[in-house]
């Protein structure tokens, strides 16, 4: 599919008002996306676990307005008007208007809430942008429904297209958001060994997954809940002209090929090596950018060292990954839940801000409510 395939035909009729609600999960990348081309096209493919408990629920209520010269919207977080969220959503609307030509016809009330604390350092952009994209897709589906005969709706807007276009739109809001629609493992970015993979949207991982990875656990240790000093978009941009960029993009492609056999064979040791190396490489890219920056905190390193010595002492297959921040995602097989949680509570929680952590696991994707 190409970008043009996501441009809608003019809607023949319109609806006056309505409202849709979607709940969408966050995700944690195993092979990381870091560096992009124009229009949020990734420099390398990435793969992620869809989470189950860290979610954003968004309701979009829309009502027809008189003039269609400008966007009109208001955003609420947990019932509070958030004027500071508006510019990001206006930028998003600007990027997607070509694909959703009804956006200037309505006033939108966007009400959103997260299952995780807003200032937890857990990025809400992936779950937030995908929930918003899904609500907008539901509106478009309704506009198409009212304008053509029902069978044509099914053809042009079947479930597969609906999810692909929602992922395509979410990508334009925040790259990693395009991996937050489906469970349990999602690939984004063209890769020769992954059938159907695309730079334009995320696809559900299409191959066999060994039982070792079923219901994989992720405990998120909240090391630093403050605002990041450097945003992801600034970080992505610093990959332009980065001395190690091309080697890094090559490595990510190779790692993705390796993930396929790891997931099939259930090789936990190879999984650990790949996932931890990816996390540290991501942060190494940050530390070797110009200007350089560090998002890890002293407690991030304390936790990593504790994990390594715990693995040495026990037979545990617990490992860590990081996103663009100081928090640590501790990943482990379901069979180790009890012992790993004990270890986390006894030895790692002390390094979390206010002792806070979130228990999560692989999940099934977004849901309409």
The residue ranges that bind ligand PMV (CB under 6 A) are 29, 32-34, 46, 123, 125, 174-176, 232, 236, 282, 323-324
Closer by beta carbon to ligand PMV, 50 or else 174: 174
In angstroms, give the least distance from the CB of 92 to ligand PMV. Answer: 13
Cβ atoms 32, 278 nearer than 8 A = yes
What minimum distance in Å lies between the beta carbon of 158 and ligand PMV? 27
- Compare residues 103 and 239 and give the one whose CB is closer to ligand PMV: 239
Residue 323's φ and ψ, nearest 5 degrees, are -110, -160
Sign of the dihedral through C-alpha 324, 86, 116, 139: negative
Q: Which is nearer to ligand PMV, 123 or 362 (CB)?
A: 123
Q: How many C-beta neighbours within 10 Å does residue 317 have?
A: 17
Are the C-beta atoms of residues 21 and 139 closer than 8 Å to each other?
Answer: no
| Minimum CB distance to ligand PMV smaller for 35 or for 333 | 35
Nearest-approach distance from CB 338 to ligand PMV, in angstroms: 29
Is 167:187 a contact under the CB 8 Å cutoff? no
Q: Which two tokens stand for residue 231?
A: 């945003």
Beta carbon nearer to ligand PMV, 40 or 72: 40
Count Cβ atoms below 10 Å from residue 156 Cβ, excluding itself: 14
Cβ nearer to ligand PMV, comparing 36 with 157 = 36
CA distance 43 to 260: 20
CB of 125 to ligand PMV, least distance (A): 5
- Minimum distance between the CB of residue 38 and ligand PMV, rounded to whole angstroms? 14
24 vs 46, which CB is nearer to ligand PMV? Answer: 46
Which conformational region is residue 83 in: left (phi greater than 0), alpha (psi within -120 to 50 degrees), or beta?
alpha
Can you say whether the dihedral through the CA atoms of 334, 337, 339, 340 is positive or negative? Answer: positive
Closest separation in Å from C-beta 33 to ligand PMV: 3
Q: How far is the CB of 151 from ligand PMV (least distance, A)?
A: 37
Cis peptide before 291 (omega within 30 of 0): yes
């Amino acid at each position: 599919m190409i970008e043009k395939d996501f441009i809608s035909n003019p809607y023949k009729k319109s609806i006056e008002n309505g409202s849709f609600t979607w709940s969408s999960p966050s995700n944690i990348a195993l092979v990381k996306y870091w560096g992009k081309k124009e229009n949020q096209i990734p420099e390398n493919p990435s793969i992620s676990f869809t989470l189950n408990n860290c979610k954003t629920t968004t309701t979009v209520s829309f009502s027809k307005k008189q003039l269609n010269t400008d966007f009109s919207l208001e955003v609420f977080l947990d019932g509070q008007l958030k004027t500071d969220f508006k510019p990001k959503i206006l930028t998003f609307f600007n990027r997607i208007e070509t694909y959703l030509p009804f956006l200037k016809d309505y006033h939108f009330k966007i009400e959103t809430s997260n299952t995780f604390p807003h200032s937890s350092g857990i990025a809400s952009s992936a779950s937030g942008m995908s929930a918003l994209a899904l609500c907008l897709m539901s509106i478009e589906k309704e506009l198409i429904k009212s304008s053509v005969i029902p069978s044509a709706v099914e053809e042009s807007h079947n479930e597969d297209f609906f999810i692909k276009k929602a992922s395509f739109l979410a990508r334009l809001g925040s790259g990693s958001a395009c991996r937050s629609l489906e469970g349990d493992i999602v690939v984004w970015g063209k890769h020769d060994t992954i059938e159907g993979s695309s730079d334009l949207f995320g696809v559900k991982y299409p191959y066999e997954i060994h039982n070792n990875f079923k219901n994989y656990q992720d405990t998120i240790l909240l090391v630093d809940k403050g605002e990041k000093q450097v945003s992801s978009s600034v970080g992505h941009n610093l990959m332009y002209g980065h001395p190690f960029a091309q080697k890094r993009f090559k490595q990510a492609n190779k790692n993705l090929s390796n993930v396929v056999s790891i997931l099939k064979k259930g090789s936990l040791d190879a999984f650990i090596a790949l996932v931890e190396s990816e996390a540290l490489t991501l942060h190494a890219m940050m530390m070797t950018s110009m200007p350089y920056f560090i998002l890890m905190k002293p407690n991030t390193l304390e936790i990593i060292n504790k994990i390594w010595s715990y693995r040495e002492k026990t037979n545990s297959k617990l490992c860590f990954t990081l996103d663009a921040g100081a928090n640590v995602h501790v990943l482990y097989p379901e069979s180790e839940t009890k012992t790993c949680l004990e270890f986390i509570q006894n030895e790692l929680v002390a390094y979390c801000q206010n002792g806070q952590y979130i228990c999560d696991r692989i999940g099934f994707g977004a849901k309409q409510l």
